[in-house]
Each structure stands twice: as C-alpha cells, then as structure tokens.
Amino acid sequence: MRLLVIGGDGYLGWPQAMFLSRKGHHVGVVDNFLHRQLDQKGGTDSLIPICSLEERIAAWGEVSGERIEPFSGDINDYAFISDVIKRFKPEAIIHYGEQPSAPFSMIDRDHAVFTQVNNIVGTLNLLFAIKEHQPACHLVKLGTMGEYGTPNIDIEEGFIDISHNGRRDILPYPKQPGSFYHLSKVHDSHNIMFACKVWGLRSTDLNQGVVYGVETEETALDERLATRFDYDGIWGTVLNRFCVQAVIEHPLTVYGQGGQTRGFLDIRDTMRCVELAILNPPAPGEYRVFNQFTEQFTIRQLAELVKETARKKGLFLEIAQEDDPRVEAQAHYYNAKHTRLVDLGLKPHYLSDVLLESILDRLFRYRHRIRKETILPLVDWRKTRNPCGYGPSTGLQGLAIELWGNRLFSEGNGARSWSASAINAVPVSRWNMASDGAVKPR
C-alpha cells in the first residue's frame, strides 16, 4: 500500500514509518520539524540523541534496503499538502502531525491559539485535500484518551447508547477535555466525523493513551534510527519523568495525591494498532473510534513500579508529593473500554519490571545529558501567563517569538491576519515580537 505518515520525524511518526516500510509498504513522510525548532528555543532536547530526518532515511535505506520518501513542509499550508496528496496518491494517511503537548497549550494565549490553529486547520486541510484528490483514502487519526476526561461512568469506544425520555439513540461519547490541546483534538474529531458524513470519507480515530518505551524492532537496528525521548515539563510524560529521575537518583515527583488514573501502552503496540487499523479499513462514509491503550495505572502506582525496579538496580528512591500544576480530579472512577483493537488481533506488551529495567539501562547511557532544571513543570493551568522555556534566553514570550515565526502575519488596520501560504517563506530567526505582541520582521 501507499502510506503517508504526517509528522514522520516525531517520537511515534518516525518508528511508525520504519515499521510500515519494513512490512513492504511504499511509505512517505511529511514533517515541518517544528518540535526540533521549539527544542532549540525553549531549552529542551531529546535525551536520546537523534539524527536529522535526512540522515535517518539514508540509514534506513542502508539497513533495510527500503526507501522512505520525504516531504518537507507544513500541512497548514494547503497548497503544499494538497500537492503532496495529489502526487503521492496515498491509500491511507497516518496523522501524527500536530502540536502534542497539553502544557505547551496552557503556557499563555499565544500558545493556546497556536495549538488550536495548528492542529485544527492542519486536519481540515488534510480533509479537503483527501476529498479533492484521494476520496477513497483512509485517514487514521491519532487522537487521545484525554478527550474523554474522567467521567463517573464507563468510557465507551467513541459512541454511547443513550435512552432519554422514552427515545433511544447512539451518540458521540460526551467529551470533557482537560487542556486547550485536548480541546483541539475534540474539534478534530468533530470535523473528521462531519467530513465522513457529508463527503463519504473514511476515518479511524485512535484515542490513544500515554505511550512509553524507547525502542522498537526497527529503532534497535542502528543507533542512527533512534527515536526521541522527552522528559521535561513541556514535552515529557509522567513515566519518562520518573525514569529520568530514577537514573539521577532524584525523588520521584508525584503531582497532587497521585490517584489520577490514565491508560498506557507500549510504543510497539502503537505501531501494531495503526497497522491493524490500516489493514481493516472502515467503509466509505464511516467514522469509527478505537480506544488505543492496554493497561491503566494511577500515577502513584507508576511511581511505585519505578521505585521497586530501581531498587533492584541498587537505586534507593523516595516518592515526593508536589502541588499539581493541572486542574484535574485527584482520585476518580476510571473504566475505559478498549476491546476493538484486541478483537482485530492486537497482542499487547504489558508494562513489566524487565521492560522498565531495559528503559533505565538505556537512559543510563545518556545520564550526562540530563538537565535537572527541566524536569519540573513550568506551566500552571490556573495562570494565563507562564514561563515558556528553560534556557537563559527565554522569557515569558521567548518561545512564542519563534513559535509565531513559523506563521507569517501581515498587519492592516491594526489587525493581524494569518497567511498559511507564506509558511517557510521567511526563516524563523528573522522574526521578532514587539512589546504589544505584534510580529514584526527584524
């Protein structure tokens, strides 16, 4: 099959591209390298060193004999993504290409607006391009379990059977997202479902839990094929944070009471879930939802698992309770259904001491790269202005300056208008933000 991975330079997108290429598919990847730019400006970085996409693709060709076709550009530029889809003619598109961080979206107004414009408009552009050039193409969208929130009833897979005042219907499951990022994913889901209904498109929305792991069969073939590992307060996840804290013998920081419960899955299972969705496509006009996770844990349970695994390696850690920067329930009911992917053939890899030990062993190799000051959170959900970077050159708007540099603005009558067609026309370094928030060329 001809498969296009949007966000193919990212934590999941790059190993997904290799996974599918190894299975004999003709794979293309699209990326605008936004995460790499934001790392440079925000004082963050992948703990595991990663090669450029060009170097990765060359290494993959050497190791596997397979070819991955790259497309460098931004899906918010409709002319770009429309041309890619017209030329590549994908039979399925795997859409990882969004700003993926809840803390990033809560930094301030600019970051919230950027997140929603970037994610929602990018997905809309994909939908229009598919309709115009490849209407039979299957869109596999990476959603998030965070769309649902933590309701006091069972979470179904996308839809719920409701009886009300003597009438009955199957409706989209109610959403209670917990950040502006999660809200963008909800809007994506609504737009995709609508496009399937009115245009006859087909889509699978994979509401994914928190992914952990640093290695797949493909990344293990060569150091140059490694995927990124984020642990900081902007891009990192809770298990990554605990593992990094363990290797530097830092107390494991649990935010709030630690009763927050979430779904988790191994990165290898993400690869397989996407493949299963591709091999079992929905009918034209069908929008379906799979809850993509394999286990659920409280934050406290994860901390205890890491603490015990570290103890076996001679590391004796404490668990420290810190104030929760998020506004969320500290202890709650959580029972999310996740059977549809298992029914299609998923055989999960469960979190174990052996897997945690392998993660810790890998991280020990890069212990010297850990920046302790980036581990703890900068963003408080209760504030509308938060620090947005860990480097000495980043002030309150430091990261937003370069963030908005990826979009070109023109000023007229005191207003700012967004010009998607001008993406990449001016290098990021040539833009600055004035005290009034207006973006101006340097």
Cα–Cα distances (Å) from 103 to 71, 171, 254, 299, 412, in that order, read 28, 30, 16, 17, 32
Catalytic residue IDs: 144, 181, 185
Question: 């460098």: which residue's tokens?
Answer: 72
Residue pair 405/40 in contact (Cβ under 8 Å)? The answer is: no
Question: 């934050």: which residue's tokens?
Answer: 299
| Per-residue 3-state assignment (H helix, E strand, C coil) for the chain | CEEEEECCCCCCHHHHHHHHHHCCCEEEEEECCHHHHHHHHHCCCCCCCCCCHHHHHHHHHHHHCCCEEEEECCCCCHHHHHHHHHHHCCCEEEECCCCCCHHHHCCEHHHHHHHHHHHHHHHHHHHHHHHHHCCCCEEEEEEEHHHCCCCCCCECCCEEEEEECCEEEEEECCCCCCCHHHHHHHHHHHHHHHHHHHHCCEEEEEEECEEECCCCCCHHHCHHHCCCCCCCCCCCCHHHHHHHHHHCCCCEEEECCCECEEEEEEHHHHHHHHHHHHHCCCCCCCEEEEEECCEEEEHHHHHHHHHHHHHHCCCCCCEEEECCCCCCCCECCCCECCCHHHHCCCCCCCCCHHHHHHHHHHHHCCHHHCCHHHCCCCCCCCCCECCCCCCCCCCCCHHHHHHHCCCEEEEECCEEEEEHHHCCCCCHHHEEECCCCCEEEC
CA distance 74 to 106: 23
